[in-house]
Amino acid sequence: MRHFLILLLWLAAAPAWAHAVLLDTQPGDGMRLDAAPAEIRARFNEPVDAIAVRLIDAQGQTVAGPAATATDSTVTLPVPANLSAGLYIVSYRVTSADSHPVAGSVQFGIGIGPTAEGQAHVAGHHDGDRLSWVAALNRALFYASLFVAAGSALFIVLVNAGTPAGRVLSGAAALAIVTGAARIGLQGLALADLPAGALASVESWRVGASTTLGQSIGLTIVGLAAMLLGRRSTPVVLSGAIIAVGAVALTGHAATAQPRWVTTPAIFVHALCVAFWLGALWPLDRALARPDAVAIVRRFSVLAGVAVALLVASGAAIAANQVRGWAPLVDTDYGRTLLVKLGLVAALLLLAAWNKWRLTPELARGETTVLLGQTPPPRALNLHEGHAHGAGEAAAGIAVVTSARDRQVLIEIDPGRAGRNTIELTFSDTAGRVVTPLEVSLFLAQSSAGIEPILRQPEKVANGRYRLTGPELAVAGRWLFRVEMLVTDFDRLVFETDIDIKP
Amino acid sequence: MNCITLHAAGIAALAVIATAHIASAHVTLEARQAPAASTYKAVFNVGHGCEGSPTTKIRIQIPAGVVGVKPMPKPGWEVTVVKGKLAEPYMDHGKTITEGVTEVTWSGGKLLDEHFDQFTARLTLPDRTGEIWFPVVQECEKGANRWIEIPAAGKSADDLKSPAARLVLTPKP
Amino acid sequence: MRSIAIAVLLMLGATASLAHDYRAGTLEIGHPASRPSTGRTGVAYFAVTNKGDAPDRLTGIKVGGGFADRAEMHATMQDGDVMRMRPVQVIDVPPGQTVTLAPGGLHVMLLGLKAPLKAGDEMPLTLVFERAGAVDIKVMVEKAGATPGTHKGH
């Protein structure tokens, strides 16, 4: 009798011996709600006890309220009535009949969708973002004013000494000096990762001045100052202009790429030609109104032909060195920028031809047209000046490498701040050769905010490369990343690392 | 049935449940230990499916040093073996054997989540003491469980989510 | 007699290669090496072994003596002919694991070198670990073709 009873109980208990499994939640994982729910329910495959079930807001704070209750296999957490719009995480820790704890987290949004829209309240007030815009604008102003100043000087010296381009030259040179100096400080800020306020400190300028960029700009400023101070002496203005523009060839990834005996002179020639074109715009326009316009445009045309030939030749040399093969032309930012430039160069050549065959005869007949074969300088368009060597990518966000046995995973998080992020996982062997797992799982947990692991299946985007975009890293602080990689059917590797997510 | 019987049954049931939690959540071996170098009847207990879904395939990887593997046929299931190079070649009647069974699979059946079944193979254990682990992949109509985790040396399997089936080799009698 | 001479030579060789290995707590840093450079960027390689039970992580590299502007840790990922490289902020050194910075994979980039690196040059670098702290090492520039970052025989 007793044995029979035990057997009966044993059979009845058998299905319950498995660990509890979460079947579904209300609201569901990744769901967007228009209004706060009255309660949150989690249904498991078997009866459970609720140990710790909490609602966590986007600031990482646990929402105060009554405790969760468990009825059979459903856990219910009442939600306070005044819950505001935003992202929330439901973190649960329950035990099943086998007393084995089971934990995890799900996410939902009120008024915003956790999987679709970004989080306006998180983005937008970060120094780094604003600074990078200021830096890009400043850089564009610097190149434009530098090229106009040097170009005006070249035009005065080479084409027509009588052009009233002196004021433009002085103004542009002064602007180039100011923006150039600002670039040194901004570069220092970016390198030392200082806040915007530190621009007033010596540190950011010291760091900025110690880089090749700082030295290059310093030389440019010397050249510009020579042009300003020695305005009346043609040799001083010419050499000042050449030094100011030539210094550009001392920094940047294109100029410092190997082999330097090709790249540095190529950039130098390229920059001079660009300056000549850009700087000629205004004086040429003014010259058209003068009686000797035909002579000036003729002389300009001859020099422009040489400049265009040199521009194309040096540009081709730089491009060939930077982009090898056809695929990078469309696959990389650099390649796409280059394609835009090539289009502009083609337009420039057409306009130059038009200038030569059409405008010059027209001018000779006494008709004046102001349209000129001008385009922005190709190099100035490329605002992504490389910090690193040729193949390095612009480094956004956080990157961490962790290993287990003979495998590595590169974890990239962009932007790496609380809120919506793109997480990329790239798996490789220890020699950096990419390997493709059979399956990848990612668990994200934040113990100080009480967030139990959120399980996600990142999507495969390339060989060995997996991506997840979402609001999982909702709060700042130290997150545990657990990456599970199925190597073969019978072999799973686990990588664990802590990554600090900034506010 | 009197009160005492019920009471005793309750205690016994609690004891069963208490010990069961270590084992039955996973795919486990019925006999948890065996003498080194002995012939062993490996019986794998499968107590549930994959989150409610019925089991359709059981794959067992043979650990290094385990040889002479012969799976027991099972009505309703097709048994297959994968042969390959052995991690540890062995001597059999004076000959060196370098190839053998590396994986055993039972497929084509259907074991409901609420049912229990056993999968059996006879094999020869290596001549050493300590633990050996049989990684098991349980495939279901929907999803799969991979009982393939092996704890690091000196660590317990208790913290593992899905440990492989464990066997302790005792000294030869 | 000859075998003894060979043994002595081998031992001397082993000591020589041990001379540029470093220890910090439970970490061992093996065979720091670099290669000659032609331009203003150079590379450095080494291997870190964590012999302890606790995880540690490499969080930065400082250049000593101003021979370069700065050093960055880079990861390279190769998929056939496609190579992707990016700076990383952290390289984990889990317990029991050896993490190798070697050609093709993880490496240190030396940016803004004051002079090209020549075989025989020695560069001071400081490796900053989260637990073990700062570790000063000297990186030897080896002839091109040597296999830095790996060390066999001890």
A296-300, A417-421, B139-143: least confident range: A296-300
Domain ranges of chain A: 16-110, 130-381, 398-501
* Residue C125, strand partner residues: C63, C137
Residues from A contacting C (CB-CB < 8 Å) are 191, 210-212, 256, 258-260, 388-389, 391-393, 395, 398-405, 408, 410, 412, 426, 428, 430-434, 462-465, 496-497, 499
- Report the C-alpha gap between A386 and A395 in whole angstroms: 10
Quote the pLDDT of residue B13. 41
Contacts of residue C74 in chain A, CB cutoff 8 Å? Answer: 388, 392
Contacts of residue A391 in chain C, CB cutoff 8 Å? Answer: 83-85
Q: How many CB pairs under 8 A join A and B?
A: 76
> Please, which chains are in contact with A (at least 3 CB pairs closer than 8 A)?
B, C
A16-110, which class in CATH?
Answer: mainly beta
A328 band by pLDDT with thresholds 50, 70 and 90: low
Contacts of residue C109 in chain A, CB cutoff 8 Å? Answer: 388-389, 392
What letter does residue B53 receive in the DSSP assignment? B
Contact between A98 and B12 using a beta-carbon 8 Å cutoff: no
Q: Is B163 on the interface with A (CB under 8 A)?
A: no
**Does A334 score more than 80 pLDDT?**
no
Which of residues C12 and C133 earns the better pLDDT score?
C133
Angle at CA of residue A408, ends A404 and A411, nearest 5°: 115
Contact between A434 and C77 using a beta-carbon 8 Å cutoff: yes
- The separation between CA A102 and the C-alpha centre of its own chain, rounded to angstroms, equals 39
CB-nearest partner of C105 from A395, A432, A465: A432
* Residue A179, strand partner residues: none
B165 three-state secondary structure: strand
Homologous superfamily, domain C2-141: PCu(A)C copper chaperone (2.60.40.1890)
Contacts of residue C54 in chain A, CB cutoff 8 Å? Answer: none
Q: Which of B65, B74, B72, B59 is nearest to B148 (CA)?
A: B59
At A193-249, the pLDDT tens digits run 566 677 777 767 776 776 667 778 888 888 888 888 877 777 888 888 888 888 877
Q: Min CA distance, B172 vs chain A (Å)?
A: 30
Which of residues A229 and A399 earns the better pLDDT score?
A399
- The separation between CA B35 and the C-alpha centre of its own chain, rounded to angstroms, equals 16
Tally Cβ neighbours within 10 Å of residue A47. Answer: 15
Which of residues A406 and C8 earns the better pLDDT score?
A406
What letter does residue C136 receive in the DSSP assignment? E
Quote the pLDDT of residue A119. 34
Strands of the sheet containing A477-488, edge to edge, are A451-456, A439-446, A477-488, A491-501
**Does A191 score more than 90 pLDDT?**
no
**Does B106 score more than 80 pLDDT?**
yes
At B59-85, the pLDDT tens digits run 999 999 999 999 999 999 999 999 999
- Report the C-alpha gap between A455 and A89 in whole angstroms: 13
Element (H, E) at A17: none
**Does C97 score more than 60 pLDDT?**
yes
Q: How far is CA C91 from CA A367, A403, A407, A433, in A?
A: 69, 9, 13, 17
Q: Which of B55, B49, B107, B56 is nearest to B81 (CA)?
A: B107
Contact between A404 and C97 using a beta-carbon 8 Å cutoff: yes
Quote the pLDDT of residue A47. 81
CB-nearest partner of B25 from A6, A98, A492: A98
Interface-testing mutation among B50, B140, B146, with chain A (most A C-beta atoms within 10 A): B146
- As a whole number, mean pLDDT of residues A75-102 equals 80
**Does B4 score more than 50 pLDDT?**
no
Pairing of strands A31-33, A101-110: parallel
Which tokens hold the place of A375? 């385009």
Tally Cβ neighbours within 10 Å of residue C152. Answer: 7
Quote the pLDDT of residue A275. 80
* Residue C133, strand partner residues: C129
CA atoms within 13 A on the CB side of A169: 31
- Report the C-alpha gap between A418 and A474 in whole angstroms: 5
* Cβ within 8 Å of A, B 75-134: 113-114, 116
- Burial class of residue A28 in the structure, from the number of CB atoms within 10 Å of its CB (0-12 exposed, 13-18 middle, 19+ buried): exposed
Which of residues A295 and C73 earns the better pLDDT score?
C73
A366-380, A466-480, B21-35: least confident range: A366-380
At a CB cut-off of 8 Å and minimum separation 6, what does A245 contact? A146, A147, A150, A220, A223, A268, A271, A272, A275
At A20-54, the pLDDT tens digits run 778 788 888 888 888 888 889 888 877 888 888 88
**Does A296 score more than 70 pLDDT?**
yes
At a CB cut-off of 8 Å and minimum separation 6, what does C77 contact? A410, A426, A428, A432, A434, A464, A465, C83, C84, C85
Q: Say how many Å lie between the first and final Cα of chain C, rounded.
A: 24
* Residue C122, strand partner residues: C140
Tally Cβ neighbours within 10 Å of residue A229. Answer: 12
At A358-380, the pLDDT tens digits run 655 555 543 333 333 333 333 33
Which of residues C82 and A18 earns the better pLDDT score?
C82
**Does C76 score more than 80 pLDDT?**
yes
Contact between C106 and A434 using a beta-carbon 8 Å cutoff: no
- Report the C-alpha gap between A491 and A376 in whole angstroms: 57
Which tokens hold the place of B8? 């005793």
At a CB cut-off of 8 Å and minimum separation 6, what does C28 contact? C21, C22, C48, C49, C51
Quote the pLDDT of residue A136. 80
Q: Say how many Å lie between the first and final Cα of chain B, rounded.
A: 45
Contact between B116 and A99 using a beta-carbon 8 Å cutoff: no
Q: How far is CA A240 from CA A227, A244, A247, in A?
A: 5, 6, 11
Domains and CATH numbers, chain B: 26-150+158-170 (2.60.40.2230)
* Residue B46, strand partner residues: B117
- As a whole number, mean pLDDT of residues A433-445 equals 93
User: Could you tell me if A65 and A79 are in contact, meaning their C-beta atoms sit under 8 angstroms apart?
Assistant: yes
Task: Look at chain A and count its residues.
Answer: 503
Rg (CA), chain B: 18
- The separation between CA C18 and the C-alpha centre of its own chain, rounded to angstroms, equals 14
- As a whole number, mean pLDDT of residues A263-274 equals 80
Quote the pLDDT of residue A8. 40
Domain ranges of chain C: 2-141
At a CB cut-off of 8 Å and minimum separation 6, what does A342 contact? none
Is the bond leading into C124 cis (omega within 30 degrees of zero)? no
Quote the pLDDT of residue C72. 93
Q: Min CA distance, A268 vs chain C (Å)?
A: 17
- Burial class of residue A105 in the structure, from the number of CB atoms within 10 Å of its CB (0-12 exposed, 13-18 middle, 19+ buried): buried
B158 band by pLDDT with thresholds 50, 70 and 90: confident
ipTM, two decimals: 0.84
- Burial class of residue A282 in the structure, from the number of CB atoms within 10 Å of its CB (0-12 exposed, 13-18 middle, 19+ buried): buried
User: Could you tell me if A485 and A436 are in contact, meaning their C-beta atoms sit under 8 angstroms apart?
Assistant: no
Alpha helix locations (H) across A210-292?
Answer: 212-229, 234-246, 260-287
Quote the pLDDT of residue A356. 61
Quote the pLDDT of residue A24. 82
Contacts of residue C87 in chain A, CB cutoff 8 Å? Answer: 388, 392, 395, 399
Most confident of A318-332, A387-401, B6-20, C85-99: C85-99
Residue type, C52: G
Topology alike, domains A16-110 and A130-381: no
At C99-136, the pLDDT tens digits run 999 988 999 999 999 999 999 989 999 999 999 999 99
User: Could you tell me if A147 and A227 are in contact, meaning their C-beta atoms sit under 8 angstroms apart?
Assistant: no
- Report the C-alpha gap between A148 and A170 in whole angstroms: 10
- Report the C-alpha gap between C10 and A248 in whole angstroms: 53
- Fold of the domain built from segment(s) A398-501: Immunoglobulin-like (2.60.40)
B44 band by pLDDT with thresholds 50, 70 and 90: very high
**Does A327 score more than 80 pLDDT?**
no
Widest distance between CA atoms in chain C: 54
A101-110, A406-415, A429-438: least confident range: A101-110
Contacts of residue B113 in chain A, CB cutoff 8 Å? Answer: 15
A118-132, A213-227, B157-171: least confident range: A118-132
| Domain covering A130-381: architecture | Up-down Bundle (1.20)
What letter does residue A416 receive in the DSSP assignment? -
- Report the C-alpha gap between B69 and B81 in whole angstroms: 9
The fraction of chain B above a pLDDT of 90, given in percent, is 62
B2 band by pLDDT with thresholds 50, 70 and 90: very low
Which of residues C61 and A5 earns the better pLDDT score?
C61
A179-193, B25-39, C38-52: least confident range: A179-193
A112-116, A186-190, A220-224: least confident range: A112-116
Q: Is C74 on the interface with A (CB under 8 A)?
A: yes
Q: Min CA distance, A21 vs chain B (Å)?
A: 7
Contact between A410 and C78 using a beta-carbon 8 Å cutoff: no
Identify the residue whose tokens are 């499994």.
Answer: A21
Most confident of A264-278, A325-339, C79-93: C79-93
> Which chain A residue has its CA at the smallest distance from C70's CA?
A211
- Report the C-alpha gap between C141 and C144 in whole angstroms: 9
> Which chain C residue has its CA at the smallest distance from A435's CA?
C79
Q: How far is CA B94 from CA A104, B70, B172, in A?
A: 56, 21, 22
A129 band by pLDDT with thresholds 50, 70 and 90: low
Q: Is B57 on the interface with A (CB under 8 A)?
A: no
A138-142, A252-256, B35-39: least confident range: A252-256
Contact between C87 and A428 using a beta-carbon 8 Å cutoff: no
CB-nearest partner of C86 from A392, A404, A497: A392
CB-nearest partner of B25 from A19, A491, A492: A19
At a CB cut-off of 8 Å and minimum separation 6, what does A14 contact? B24, B47, B48, B114, B116
The fraction of chain B above a pLDDT of 70, given in percent, is 86
Q: Min CA distance, A477 vs chain C (Å)?
A: 16
A294 band by pLDDT with thresholds 50, 70 and 90: confident
A439 band by pLDDT with thresholds 50, 70 and 90: very high
Instruction: State chain B's mean pLDDT as an integer.
Output: 85
The fraction of chain C above a pLDDT of 70, given in percent, is 81
Q: Min CA distance, A91 vs chain B (Å)?
A: 19
Residue type, C49: T
- Report the C-alpha gap between C68 and A322 in whole angstroms: 24
